Amino acid sequence: MRLLSRLFAVILILPVTALAQQAPTLQLPDSADVRIIVDISGSMKTNDPDNLRRPAVRLLARMLPRQANAGVWTFGQYVNMLVPHGKVTDDWRGLAVERSDEINSVALRTNLGEAIQVASDDYLLGSESLDNTDFILLTDGKVDISDNESANDRERERILGALLDDLSSRGATLHTVALSEEADLSLLKSLAERTGGRYALASTADALTLAFLEALNTAVPQQQIPIEDNGFQVDDGVEEFTALIFRAGDESAANRTLELVSPGGIKAEPKSAIDGMRWVRETEYDLITVTNPEAGDWKINGELGEGSRVTVVSDLRMVVSPVPPTFTEEEPISLQVAFFEEDRKIENPDFLGVIDVSVSLTSEGGRSGSKVLSPDEPPQDGVYTDAITRLPGAGEYQLSVVADGQTFSRRFSTVTRYIQPDGEQASVGAGVADEPLQEAPVMEDELPETSPTPEIDPPLSSSGPIDISQVEEPEPKPLEEQPVDKAEAEPEMPATDEDDASGIPFWMLAAAGALGVVVVAGVVWLLVKRRKPAQEQDADNDEEPPLVAEEAPEDDIPVADAEVKDGEDEFGLEDFDLSEFDDLTDIDEKSEPEDSDEPEDDGNDDKGVGKDR
């Protein structure tokens, strides 16, 4: 049984190990191609009354990396190329910011399929391949190309059929953002899931900018610097940094107080930016870009809203393998982290030895946990690896990788969703091989009461941390070293109706029955001896007595109600190793005690019985 349990654990571990081994070799990402598609149908007047799509598009235009390819399309009944597809340069950014003011809510219909088809046309790059192309699609409605519902249904089927098949085969990735629960959420989820993209529902217009930003960060991960206590450290290798500060709470743009303080103590504000600084204030955020910044500790005076970050442009980069938008225990996240200087991977142990690389997860409820990668010594090939296989519960988690050195720090952040199989309740500490395989002892006073809904363990409270080291790398104790409690071991025996009814183990009943048979046989033997002494002397030597064959003194006959000494178990349970019963075959529950053979040794010392069969 123990051997089978170990084999089963190994079988569970092998697929996860194989998946981790199949992770592609980490390398610098190719040049990105981002295509933004924005709904301008009339329903946007209700769902986006302040037209926050404009500052959201401007944010993406300013945050896109240099030399990437990008374009912006708007759609209603017709499709319009708002910003031509091309290389992201300062001129392209300026044009995108200028034309964002043309985003409105006047279109009559929602021709979603045509918008995707136009934006994915192969003439844009002169190639049918969309391997490194990400589409960011925003809409608040459903497919609406005609007053005829049948025509709309056919168009929806075409999008999910031929169009989506074509995009998938060409390698496209679609990230979809729904701006209203009235949108066709099922359609948008399918577009994202079938192409490996991210789906998000921005329930309010205020959440739109952050949803757009997370979609961009999934498409083109940004190099970041960690913010701690409203401060961040800039190293000598940083050519430029951009601080994105989201509005906190109900603070308005007009009343927002924000300062950026350099390591030399120089303070800058929106209206008094220093040399080499560009400060843009929008309704939802402030965007501060500093070129050739002073190395050292910078400080932000003011409140930082959710999603605030500092991105950098530098030849020294931390590269993280792509994190899927969703994952399961069967398809875990295989994480790889490495550092590159220009296009060369760094393997120098002197550099890597002073950097601590950690991964952390934060749930939607605010619980978090972290784990250090390669805590003892840096990896010889310069690639830090880990696998995230199972989490305490389904939902969205923010995954962050932070590299912290003496004068160097980088941060990577993204959002992923853990999908749990239907009907399964994950537990804290569950990993590749679940805890039940360890056969941990359960004492009687610890057994939970029977309940249709299992209670959640205390570590799952909203205040408890997620221990990632327990989630990913459980180290079960050897099975043979764990104590086995009798209450746990007894259920391994075949159950009988008598066991279920009385709770007395079957072997006890069998022993008592055998003892009763011996007593009855002894009484019968005495009666026969007294009444027919002559017949017993002349009996044929070949004939055996019914149950006993040799004379025994009357005093040696066991008595069922004999006294048991204090402190002594009547059936000698303490002398039995209950594991002996692991391999017993099923016992015929309907057989009568009289039909069985002489009882085996059950701990009672019946020395005078059965010598002369």
State the burial class of residue 571 (Cβ atoms within 10 Å of its Cβ: 0-12, 13-18, 19+). Answer: middle
Pick the CATH number of 327-337+348-403+414-439+458-482 from 1.10.3470, 2.60.40, 1.20.120, 3.30.70: 2.60.40
* Number of CB atoms found within 10 A of residue 82's CB: 21
Distance CA 435, CA 474 (A): 9
pLDDT at 490: 41
Phi, psi of 538, deg, nearest 5: -90, 5
* Number of CB atoms found within 10 A of residue 228's CB: 11
pLDDT at 375: 86
pLDDT at 513: 62
pLDDT at 393: 87
pLDDT at 606: 43
pLDDT at 517: 58
Cα 38 → chain centroid: 32
Token couple for 518: 């011996």
Distance CA 337, CA 27 (A): 10
pLDDT at 565: 43
Contacts of 511 (CB under 8 A, 6+ apart): 571, 599, 602, 603, 604
pLDDT at 487: 41
Architecture of the domain whose range is 224-314 = Sandwich (2.60)
Distance CA 280, CA 384 (A): 37
Distance CA 43, CA 32 (A): 32
> Does residue 526 sit in helix, strand or coil?
helix
User: For 529-571, how does the pLDDT look when each residue is reduced to its tens digit (9 = 90+)?
Assistant: 665 544 444 444 444 444 444 444 444 444 444 444 444 433 3
Contacts of 493 (CB under 8 A, 6+ apart): 505, 506, 507, 581, 584
pLDDT at 274: 86
- Looking at the DSSP bridge assignments, the partners of residue 240 are 291, 313
Distance CA 326, CA 25 (A): 21
pLDDT at 607: 41
User: For 517-533, how does the pLDDT look when each residue is reduced to its tens digit (9 = 90+)?
Assistant: 566 666 666 665 665 54
User: Is 33-219's fold the same as 224-314's?
Assistant: no
Q: What is the mean pLDDT of each run of 10 residues along the chain (613 residues)?
A: 41 41 62 94 92 94 92 96 95 96 94 96 80 94 94 96 95 95 94 94 86 91 92 94 90 83 94 91 93 96 93 93 91 94 92 93 90 91 92 91 90 92 51 34 38 41 46 44 42 42 50 61 63 48 47 45 42 32 40 45 43 39
pLDDT at 213: 92
Architecture of the domain whose range is 33-219 = 3-Layer(aba) Sandwich (3.40)
CA angle, 367 as apex, 364 and 373 as ends, to 5°? 110
pLDDT at 252: 75
Nearest to 357 by CA among 346, 365, 366: 346
pLDDT at 484: 41
pLDDT at 511: 56
Place of tokens 């204030």: 281
Domain map (residue ranges) of the chain: 33-219, 224-314, 327-337+348-403+414-439+458-482, 497-595
pLDDT at 603: 44
